[in-house]
Structure 1
């Protein structure tokens, strides 16, 4: 009896397999290889059919943890000519390289030779071995006459190539984006409020926008710049019950909701009094508590007081009333230990092991995250240096370095400065 049951099961399985094979033949009139080949040919045809090329809103970082950017591309005869927004290129700059559509994972669009503009966001650097986590190979997921839907092969972000209007001038279009970028500030608020729930924070260098959710959590996501404003990519921004995905940027830098222009946000610039009080200065090494106070008879100067190794130091901080930022400059300070005639607090590019002593770092307030970041002030950018560290160099009263055993002497150091947070 058992043998008969097994035979029946085998017979039914065989019949089921034959049925499935029959269905497969009905649904697919050509082999998988032929279907892929057909898609490859169709992709090439569509890409090269656009007289004025394609626009790609491009996202970096796995899970869109990076920023949003705009590329314009023209495909012809196996070559692609690329232009990019102001984050990657000037509006008039163009770069041409090769491209292919191959069959490695289904149809894959690959920018297979180096392109000065397009590969920029994926290039490794000294500090970022994976660059900005940008893709240059894309799995094609859907095709229409006016859109090519893709997914980054390595970082898996979904993106879309859209056909450019034939009469749209690339340079004018990119100049419009650049003009909007220039008008963007850092902090924006409804009614000039310092309340984090009524603020939007824009990180233009990383193309990230921050806001607060209804329950007070920080929501951070990529945005890209358009000729009229900015577009938040993943989730809309919620402000006083209003849901906003697109902001217009006026000539004076005011933000307004695209679908509700009555909802406006003005640039928020903290006053000098916002910096007074107790703070924590954070660095990779050398963090400390610091008290910021006013300097008598000095309108835009503040003093920072902190303790290191049992000694109390005073440093100068300059306030910029136009931006609301502080600047930490290189400066001569007193040595409270009495060991040296003076100390020279000076900036350095630690990543290049270079003492600079010229320029300094800005301290920029971020309203949504309620902290201030240390940023290079750009003084030595043209020379290829970036301030990331401050050290106190022992020196003579004339500012000449003091050495011991042919080595510089440092009283303290803040290595790779990161942020300044209020002590509440």
Structure 2
């Protein structure tokens, strides 16, 4: 493995991280919710390629759909020609979006989807002013970095937008810490009104928000927060963009889209990751009025190509036919209940919904972030045969986002590894 890692480092940029440092992992095969590395060791995957391998590995329905399309010899035609798989997938997404008279534009990734949504919103409003939320992540391109409220991922201070920031709903620290749901919503609305009144020019284009902040460590405001924001936005004609790249397709269990917990319908929804189950696929769905606002010709060369659209159709059909939203709710409750029952000083918070769960680690007796303890638990999980992710503003949150097909037995197996890893790290902690 060191030979491949050396080659990787020789040709890849230094700012592109690899988990596990000098003991980096090469995944060579997968089946169900398990992957196997180059040494032959098998792991239970609780991160799914950053919440992307949403159905799991080696799924016959998806593989068959892709093989069938590849078998035609047509992997690409561009949107200058009709693409049946793309139209069929767009019809399904438009119907499921909850947005009346919806249109769909396909991209290659969540970053590109958010760029596209910003293009549409700024054209509708004839303004480059954007509201974004602290601790957010929306992508790695020039525009999406500008609206990412997470310093670790903001590689440039330059911006095509005038961005004004709203407070994060972090309950552990900051201005919203330990507020009740009702008080947090009131404080957040007051913050929004103050921002609009003091630091904007009055013609803001849109607010972009993740219903649950992904890279930010699965931080989420109380149900109804986006709805409360929307009432204020509506007074000013400001659009709402829901970044559902990580929360979409039933992952939260309680809802198909994260926005549905808030009693609101966005103007635009961006999506990606899980809908392709590993094939590059993302997009935007929104009202025809907003989607048609782009005043010039535009298209995505590879977005929604026949192969990725075939995969997307198979994935979405599988999600609906197997009620994976319901499974996320049932199996996620096993993990959440089990983790919340733990009593260890290094655990500052367990939060999440469905199969989107974060564990935040702190120095015992404080709210001070402890990235070292987080890394220790992270490494111990791998030793125990479990792959998890990391995140959070301070690098102190374990991110759990398994495939939505996770079984109850697998959830309990993973919970055992997590519990043992946390107990070990807690015993090693210096009080």
Question: Per the shorter chain, which TM-score range?
Answer: under 0.3
Question: Quick one: higher RCO (CA 8 Å, sep 6+), 1 or 2?
Answer: 2
More helix by share: 2
**TM-score, structure 2 as length reference:** 0.26
More strand by share: 1
